[in-house]
Amino acid sequence: MVMHTEFSPTAGPLTVKPAPQSSESSTSRANIDSFPTESDRTTAAAAIDEAEILQASIKAGSVDQIVIAGIAVIGLIYLLKLVMVTALFSILLAFVLEPLVGQVCRIRIPRAAAALLAVSLMVGMAGGLTYFFYGRAVDFATQLPKYSGRIRRALADLREQTNKIEESTRAVIASPNPGKAPLVVEVRESPGLLRVISAGSGTLGEVLLAISFIPFLVYFMLTWKDHAHSATVQLFPKDHRLVAHRTVGRISAMIRSFIAGNVLVGLITALVSIVVFWRLGIPYFYFLGVISGFVSLIPYLGVFLALLPPLAAGIGVVDKTGMGIIFLTVIGLHLLIMNVLYPKIVGKRLRLNPLAVTLSLLFWAWIWGAMGLILAVPLVGATKIICDYVDSLQAVGAWLGD
């Protein structure tokens, strides 16, 4: 708080009173020249300097508190990775099943029974798809050794070129001192089965435990949807409840649009991939086409991940022209998705600029890994909606928008 000094017309004691927050230090310093004596001017200047130092210290302390609070929040999000990812993924599944529950409730079936039916169908479908894709993966792994000779011949030229580059590099950086070359000794620890199982048992057990909670979380989210919505709005003061209600409604609509748009775009991409892989004669084209089509939905990294399954299956089966068709199909579909279909179907609800999406993908992938890439877009979309309804954060919402 800035201080200014006042004097009585007569010689009297120096009194220092708080100045209004809107007063500028330059104006206070300009008034110092009107003081009667040099000592009074010196005392007033010292009081103003002390007040400015105090105000700067308060501002610095506020910035430090904000930085520390931000670091604490990031650390908490990282530590609660498994819990938050499980909860957010359950929310997405609840939004997927909500239309089905609503349709069942229209025929006068209790919401609890409708939610139980929807969750049961979800679990059954997940189990069936897991069994189907696991069987196709086992068959593909069984058939893969038949193509090992062709794969070796296809990679022989690449390995030869790699060896030449390695030998040339070794010759350039080799020690000029003549003599016996040092013997390279490599020590390897035998990968015992018990050691591998014990190393991964902790993480695998935690993931399985989190997956077992998902059906129960989805069921309770569907059953207590109205109560959770109203209770969330009641957490805010009365003056802000209408804004909170609209914010929650817009976030819900955004998530529904995001899920529906991704499913529709994924089905289109998978169908085109299946047809192209079938025409090329790639084994298990239906299995690889679905994987490549839906993996391609992952922003930026999806194009590289979508290329791996068809290329691995096509080595030794298709010629160079076929490999080129695979590259053109996968890359072309990814570009079509991200630049045409995705903005048309999903972008109307999100309205995010590419820089914000990229930074969000980088941040959440660093915090939560692969699941962060899936949840990054709805999270930054929800953040933008919240910022749009908060006066002090509207500038942030405008920066996130397009």
What's the pLDDT tens digit per position in 245-297?
888 888 888 888 788 878 888 888 889 989 988 888 887 788 888 888 888 88
When mean pLDDT is compared over 57-66, 80-89, 239-248, the highest value belongs to 80-89
Burial of 106 (0-12, 13-18, 19+ CB in 10 A): exposed
Percent of residues, the chain, with pLDDT higher than 90: 1
What mean pLDDT value characterizes the chain? 74
pTM: 0.62
Give 173-178's long-range contacts (Cβ < 8 A, gap of 24+).
Answer: none
Whole-angstrom distance, CA of residue 262 vs CA of residue 293: 11
- Residue-wise pLDDT tens digits, 2-20: 444 444 444 444 444 444 4
Cα atoms in the 13 Å half-sphere on the side-chain side of 154: 16
Domain ranges across the chain: 3-76, 84-148+214-223, 241-347, 351-402
SS (H, E, C) the chain: CCEEEECCCCCCCCEEEECCCCCCHHHHHHHHHHCCCHHHHHHHHHHHHHHHHHHHHHHHHHHHHHHHHHHHHHHHHHHCHHHHHHHHHHHHHHHHHHHHHHHHHCCCCCHHHHHHHHHHHHHHHHHHHHHHHHHHHHHHHHHHHHHHHHHHHHHHHHHHHHHHHHHHHHHHHCCCCCCCCCCCCCCCCCCCHHHHHHHHHHHHHHHHHHHHHHHHHHHHHHHCHHHHHHHHHHCCCHHHHHHHHHHHHHHHHHHHHHHHHHHHHHHHHHHHHHHHHHHHCCCCHHHHHHHHHHHCCCCCCHHHHHHHHHHHHHCCCCCHHHHHHHHHHHHHHHHHHHHHHHHHHCHHHHCECHHHHHHHHHHHHHHHCHHHHHHHHHHHHHHHHHHHHCHHHHHHHHHHEC
Instruction: Identify the band that residue 136 occupies on the pLDDT scale cut at 50, 70 and 90.
Output: low
When mean pLDDT is compared over 36-45, 64-73, 212-221, 226-235, the highest value belongs to 212-221
- Residue-wise pLDDT tens digits, 80-134: 888 888 888 888 888 888 888 888 888 888 888 988 998 999 899 888 878 877 7
- pLDDT for position 120: 92
Q: Residue with structure tokens 């189990």?
A: 127
CA angle at 271 for the pair 270 and 274, rounded to the nearest 5°: 85
Pull the structure tokens for residue 263: 């499913």
Whole-angstrom distance, CA of residue 393 vs CA of residue 199: 45
Provide the terminal-to-terminal Cα distance of the chain, rounded to the nearest Å.
40
- pLDDT for position 196: 42
Whole-angstrom distance, CA of residue 206 vs CA of residue 85: 12
